[in-house]
């Protein structure tokens, strides 16, 4: 199935109209009341949002037979794990703008080669909302998005980074993952001076592949080099030749197949690359532990809510493809952990209800005791965290991808219904 550009644009226009009718996402206000919480401003929690790059849902040590993520496991076992968490678009930049704006791609309209987000979408980003509500705001790590407005005004501490293997910090050369942790720790230290509650988005580049390094692809601190070395990675599901041959031609010739050649086209390369991907995740896990230790040292750990998420899923040779753009579960499904040290009932709770990346936006605003703009398309997860089991909740969502990938224009829709919609 191959579309010409003209045919693809007509299909997109038609499907966008259909989506407007068929798949409206609920928009709710957050549950906190500003008046009540303003009285308790000094007790407002800090909110640490940690985003890993291309961390797919099943790569948490507590749920996986091989990979080790002890710090993330600790957050999950002391907090809440959302077992059905998805992104509305499985592309880095687009998903990241969705998280900041609370809007799906077809609303914020940002992806590669698109103009920056509009002024209204940018003005309603959660950092703007919480800053206007009395919070300090910080952004550290991977940026690579186009949002209008002044980030130096939006963020009190703004440290955007391009991908690199190492960075210089206080006279030392650090792996970039640890450098990002050090910047996050610097902001936590500075926040002691202001005494204001804060939100910080920590955006790791790991475990994203280094696209120009076709030999090794994934990088991590040297101490992880021998990790998983003696283990044989099992084959990916659906990785047989017949499954690949059954794919439509445009997928067989897509960027997902090109990158499969880089990573998985021999058994030896598959073993090497999957282990390197695992190590890059374990490095993020260690950096999360470093940041958490700083929260403890500064006395903030008991009043800091930590949200951990991946910006999209990832194919590890499923269907003999690589990457994340297509709309299968491997592309869309991500880990999502929320650890609220104030919540004494959440220890190890698992929530089956469907959470989306656009829910994070409302959740952060809600945790800050503020009201989300009516335009947000996600829902606060706070009622689910608080065991409000009768909260009306979605049982499906739409995914949209509109990006030119190797001359093939995709728009794929995927509606997911969980087998178990209960908490
Ligand atoms: Ca990504």
pLDDT tens profile 165-223: 999 999 999 999 999 999 999 999 999 999 899 999 999 999 999 999 999 999 999 99
Mean per-residue pLDDT for 305-320?
98
pLDDT band at 43 (very low <50, low <70, confident <90, very high): confident
pLDDT, residue 408, reads 42
Alpha carbon of 143 to ligand 1 centroid (Å): 11
Query: What per-residue confidence (pLDDT) applies to 19?
Result: 37
Ligand 1 centre to CA of 129 (Å) is 25
As a residue count, the chain comes to 423
Query: What is the mean predicted confidence (pLDDT) over 16-36?
Result: 35
- Alpha-carbon distances of 229 from 81, 266, 273, 400, rounded to whole Å: 29, 17, 12, 38
Q: pTM of the full predicted structure? A: 0.87
Ligand 1 center to 289 CA (angstroms): 21
What's the average model confidence in pLDDT over 55-81? 98
Q: For residue 47, what is the DSSP state?
A: E
Ligand 1: distance of its center to the CA of 162 in Å?
A: 13
CA of 77 to the centre of ligand 1 (A): 25
pLDDT over 50 at 55, yes or no:
yes
The Å distance, Cα 116 to ligand 1 centre, comes to 19
* Residue showing tokens 């439509």: 248
For β-strands 349-356 and 315-316, DSSP reports them as unpaired
Give pLDDT tens digits for 348-379.
999 999 999 999 999 999 999 999 999 999 99
Q: Ligand 1: distance of its center to the CA of 67 in Å?
A: 19
Instruction: Quote the pLDDT of residue 161.
Output: 98
Query: Does position 18 have pLDDT exceeding 60, yes or no?
Result: no
How far, in Å, is the centroid of ligand 1 from the Cα of 256? 14
What is the mean pLDDT of the segment spanning 125-140?
98
Give me ligand 1 centre to Cα 215, in Å.
20
User: How would you classify residue 109: left for phi > 0, otherwise alpha for psi between -120 and 50, otherwise beta?
Assistant: left
Candidates 215, 226, 221, 225; CA nearest to 165 is 221
The span from the CA of 123 to the CA of 135, in Å, is 16
In the reported structure, the alpha carbon of residue 285 is separated from the centroid of ligand 1 by a whole-number distance in angstroms of 16
Residue pointed to by tokens 């077992």:
83
What is the rounded CA–CA span in Å between residue 191 and residue 25? Answer: 36
pLDDT at 333 over 80: yes
> What is the whole-number distance in angstroms between the Cα of residue 93 and the centre of ligand 1?
7
Burial grade of 351 (CB within 10 A; 0-12, 13-18, 19 or more): buried
Q: Determine which helix (DSSP H) or strand (DSSP E) holds 284, and give its type and residue range.
A: helix 267-297
Query: Of the given ranges (145-154, 290-299, 376-385), which has the lowest mean pLDDT?
Result: 145-154
- Domains of the chain listed by start with CATH number: 28-393 (3.40.720.10)
- Kindly report the number of other CB atoms within 10 A of residue 240's CB atom: 13
Minimum mean pLDDT range among 35-39, 133-137, 256-260, 351-355: 35-39
pLDDT (0 to 100) of residue 42: 52
> Among residues 305, 331, 303, which one has the least CA distance to residue 318?
331
Residue 35 in this model has a pLDDT that exceeds 80: no
| pLDDT tens string 379-388 | 999 999 999 9
Q: Taking the mean position of all CA atoms in its chain, how far away is CA 304?
A: 19
Residue 252: per-residue pLDDT: 94
Q: State yes or no: pLDDT of 420 exceeds 60.
A: no
Tell me how far the alpha carbon of residue 169 lies from the centroid of ligand 1, in angstroms.
25
* CB proximity list for 98: less than 8 A, separation 6 or greater: 87, 88, 89, 104, 105, 108, 357, 358
Mean pLDDT of the chain: 88
Is residue 175 a contact partner of residue 221, using CB atoms and an 8 Å limit?
yes
Nearest to 97 by CA among 54, 143, 48: 143
What are the tokens at 423? 């908490």
In this model, does residue 291 exceed pLDDT 90? yes
**pLDDT number for residue 403:** 66
The strand ranges marked E within 54-170 are 80-86, 136-142, 157-161, 166-169
Q: What is the DSSP letter of 227?
A: T
What is the C-alpha to C-alpha distance for residues 266 and 235, in angstroms, rounded to an integer?
12
Strands, E assignment, 162-283: 166-169, 172-175, 198-203
Centre of ligand 1 from the C-alpha of residue 145, in Å: 12
Task: Measure 411 CA to ligand 1 centroid, in angstroms.
Answer: 18
CA of 331 to the centre of ligand 1 (A): 10
Surrounding residues of ion ligand 1, Cβ less than 5 A: 53-54, 92, 311-312
* Whether the predicted pLDDT of 14 surpasses 90: no
Average pLDDT over residues 308-331: 96
Angle between helices 176-194 and 267-297 (to 10 degrees): 20
Q: Residues 163, 150: contact at Cβ < 8 Å?
A: no
Instruction: Kindly indicate the confidence band of residue 314, based on its pLDDT and cuts at 50, 70 and 90.
Output: very high
**Dist CA 67 CA 294 (whole Å):** 25
Round to whole Å and give the CA distance between 55 and 203. 12
């Amino acid at each position: 199935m191959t579309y010409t550009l003209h045919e693809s644009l007509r299909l997109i226009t038609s499907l966008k109209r259909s989506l407007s009718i068929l798949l409206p996402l609920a928009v709710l206000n957050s549950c906190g009341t500003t008046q009540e919480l303003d009285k308790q401003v000094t007790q407002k929690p800090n909110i640490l949002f940690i985003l890993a790059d291309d961390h797919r849902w099943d790569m948490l040590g507590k749920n996986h037979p091989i990979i080790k993520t002890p710090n993330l496991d600790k957050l999950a076992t002391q907090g809440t794990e959302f077992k059905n968490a998805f992104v509305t678009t499985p592309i880095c930049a687009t998903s990241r703008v969705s998280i900041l704006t609370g809007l799906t791609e077809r609303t914020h309209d940002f992806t590669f080669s698109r103009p920056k987000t509009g002024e209204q979408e940018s003005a309603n980003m959660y950092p703007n909302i919480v800053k206007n509500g009395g919070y300090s705001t910080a952004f550290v790590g991977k940026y690579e998005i186009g949002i209008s407005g002044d980030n130096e005004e939006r963020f009190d501490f703004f440290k955007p980074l391009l991908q690199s293997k190492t960075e210089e910090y206080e006279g030392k050369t650090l792996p970039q993952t640890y450098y990002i942790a050090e910047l996050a720790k610097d902001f936590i230290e500075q926040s002691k001076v202001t005494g204001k509650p804060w939100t910080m988005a920590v955006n790791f580049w790991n475990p994203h592949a280094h696209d120009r390094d076709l030999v090794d692809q994934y990088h991590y601190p040297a101490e992880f080099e021998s990790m998983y070395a003696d283990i044989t990675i099992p084959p990916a599901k659906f990785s047989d030749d017949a499954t690949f041959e059954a794919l439509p031609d445009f997928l067989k010739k897509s960027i997902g197949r090109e990158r499969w050649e880089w990573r998985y086209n021999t058994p030896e390369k598959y073993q090497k690359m999957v282990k390197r991907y695992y190590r890059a995740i374990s490095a993020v896990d260690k950096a999360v532990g470093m940041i958490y230790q700083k929260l403890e040292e500064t006395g903030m750990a008991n009043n800091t809510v930590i949200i951990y998420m991946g910006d999209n899923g990832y194919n590890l040779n499923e269907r003999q493809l690589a990457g994340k753009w297509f709309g299968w579960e491997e592309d869309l499904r991500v880990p999502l952990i929320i650890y609220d040290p104030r919540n004494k009932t959440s220890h190890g709770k698992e929530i089956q209800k469907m959470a989306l990346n656009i829910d994070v936006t409302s959740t952060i605003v809600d945790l800050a005791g503020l009201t989300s703009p009516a335009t947000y398309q996600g829902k606060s997860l706070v009622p689910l965290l608080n065991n409000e089991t009768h909260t009306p909740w979605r049982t499906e969502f739409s995914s949209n991808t509109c990006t030119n990938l190797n001359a093939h224009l995709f728009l794929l829709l995927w509606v997911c219904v969980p087998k178990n919609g209960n908490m």
